Amino acid sequence: MEEQQSNTQEAMPLFSGLLAYAASRPLQFHIPGHKQGAGMAPEFREFLGSNALSIDLVNVPPVDDLHRPRGMIKEAQALAAEAFGADHTFFSVQGTSGAIMAMILACVRPGEKILIPRNVHRAVMTGIVLSGAVPVFMTPEIDTEFGVAHGVSVSTVRRALGEHPDARALLVVNPTYFGVVSDLRAIVEVAHERDVPVLVDEAHGAHLYFHPSLPLSAMAAGADVAATSMHKLGGSLTQSSVLNVRAGLVNPQRIQAVLSMLTTTSTSYLLLASLDAARKQLATRGCEMLDGVIALAEWARDEINAIPGLCCLGRQHVGSLSSSYGYDPTKLFISVKGLGLSGPEVEQLLRVKYRIEIEMSDLYNILALITLADNDSTVKRLVQALREIAEGVAVRRPRLVHVRLPDLPRLALTPREAFYRNSEAVLLADSAGRIAAEFVMVYPPGIPLLLPGELIEQKNLDYIVEHIKAGLPVQGPEDVSLQTIRVVAD
């Protein structure tokens, strides 16, 4: 992608328009009730500052309306579409979760089949529950070295489409939470041969659009819809995302209508303005900035792989995966089992001893993100901390850690059927043989260990208990103590 796509990418119509409106100092008799901070608790007003509060507005006509954009929001979304190579781009203030739900609800109806990997974010399953669609699970490739699931292969997609010719949509995760990418272009070609639209959970791929050495983005691969999280790796404020659309197999107007149904009518202009500004930065300076990000991440990967007991996912490992077509180098996905420590133990050491916070940990790994905000100092500090942790455990013999992943649970009812059926709470320890009526997941990454409608087996319970004992943030059940789980009533 060209570093600067057009002269218009220098513009920020939404952010600039908001600044101009705030500078006119209108007398406000509308929400928000704090009225540029005057009615706000002074401690919070002073912390946040008058600049931000001056553009915390509501959809009065001069600043346009996200639900029916005709002015500065429409202009900002058009510039974003140009930057992302989409026919249409819609801003989301409901995060990527809201964008994912919108694209599912817009593309499949009750009773229609949608092909999805089993290792999807809970937002995908929420969209399926709400839509009433029938999920057909494609088995992702299981990585026994790192103990996680990655993407789906082209052959898996082709087989699923052949076995389910009535499928109305195909959803894939690309890149995965851990940075692995599939051959998305080939997957799109296979699906389009059958006129099946491809929906992409691209929550972790906003930066892919702006550097030629990064993996192919969803729009460049020909996908029809992609929910792309700008706040994760694109530089906008938390909870701001975009939904990129290619017209043809999907109806952009229907996507706009469904997105509007799911979106608050009191949209945050701070979030919207941050999307406009982040798009400008990526489109005009992204390639140059990502040069440095990629170099830092690859340096860190090499350094980490030289530390005894650590293994950072990279080209050599990814090349051995049949489903993989590459990886995002800006993600440092590090196996720590060679230290004889669990991921949460390493995360706790980094937090307490080194004041370093990472993206996530699981039973065997940790994940650190290198972004536009990093520099030599921050990355070297992370690497040095990992080196010291490894040296500290070298004085004792690490316990042998076996990576264990249970088979995927069997779907006995559709998620919607199970979610809305009469249910009862039973002890988690006694739930084997019952059908789950609620989600059980670790967040992050938010990939469910159990879905509503899945048959609970003892091996699933053992795996959940293992996560709980490791101190991982297991959540989802109504019972936050995790003593009980809701199951479909007999």
Mean pLDDT across 47-63: 95
Mean pLDDT across 246-254: 97
User: 324 versus 118: which is more confidently predicted?
Assistant: 118
Tell me the pLDDT band of 1, cut-offs 50, 70 and 90.
very low
Alpha-carbon dihedral 99, 101, 102, 106, rounded to 10 degrees: 140
Tell me the pLDDT band of 395, cut-offs 50, 70 and 90.
low
Mean pLDDT across 2-25: 86
Tell me the pLDDT band of 413, cut-offs 50, 70 and 90.
very high
Report whether pLDDT(398) > 70. Answer: no
pLDDT at residue 3, as a whole number: 43
Tokens read off for 348: 């706790």
Q: How many residues does the chain have?
A: 490
Question: From CA 99, how far away is CA 102, in angstroms rounded?
Answer: 5
Q: Are 329 and 296 in contact (CB under 8 A)?
A: no
Task: For the chain, give the percent of residues with pLDDT over 90.
Answer: 89
What's the mean pLDDT when you consider all of the chain?
94
Domains and CATH numbers, the chain: 7-283 (3.40.640.10), 286-393 (3.90.1150.150), 415-488 (3.90.100.10)
Tell me the pLDDT band of 170, cut-offs 50, 70 and 90.
very high
pLDDT at residue 452, as a whole number: 96
Report whether pLDDT(96) > 90. Answer: yes
Report whether pLDDT(274) > 90. Answer: yes
Task: For the chain, give the percent of residues with pLDDT over 70.
Answer: 96
Return phi, psi of residue 363, to 5°: -60, -30
Tokens read off for 422: 């009469």
Label residue 36 left, alpha or beta by phi (over 0 means left) and psi (-120 to 50 means alpha).
left
Report whether pLDDT(148) > 50. Answer: yes
Report whether pLDDT(145) > 90. Answer: no
Q: Which residues contact 204 (CB under 8 A, 6 or more apart)?
A: 175, 176, 177, 179, 229, 232, 233, 328, 331
Handedness of CA 127, 88, 329, 234 (dihedral sign): negative
Report whether pLDDT(397) > 60. Answer: no
Give tens-digit pLDDT for 340-378.
Answer: 999 999 999 999 999 999 999 999 999 999 999 999 999
Q: Where are the beta strands (DSSP E) in 7-154?
A: 88-92, 113-117, 134-138, 142-143, 148-149
Q: Are 467 and 449 in contact (CB under 8 A)?
A: yes
Q: Which residues contact 84 (CB under 8 A, 6 or more apart)?
A: 209, 217, 219, 228, 242, 244
Q: H helices within 94-171, ranges in order?
A: 95-107, 122-131, 154-163
Lowest mean pLDDT: which of 51-60, 255-264, 379-388, 465-474?
Answer: 465-474
pLDDT at residue 115, as a whole number: 98
Tokens read off for 396: 């004792």
Q: Is 476 exposed, middle or buried (0-12, 13-18, 19+ CB in 10 A)?
A: buried
Tell me the pLDDT band of 320, cut-offs 50, 70 and 90.
confident
Lowest mean pLDDT: which of 64-68, 138-142, 226-230, 282-286?
Answer: 138-142
pLDDT at residue 4, as a whole number: 45
Mean pLDDT across 164-187: 97
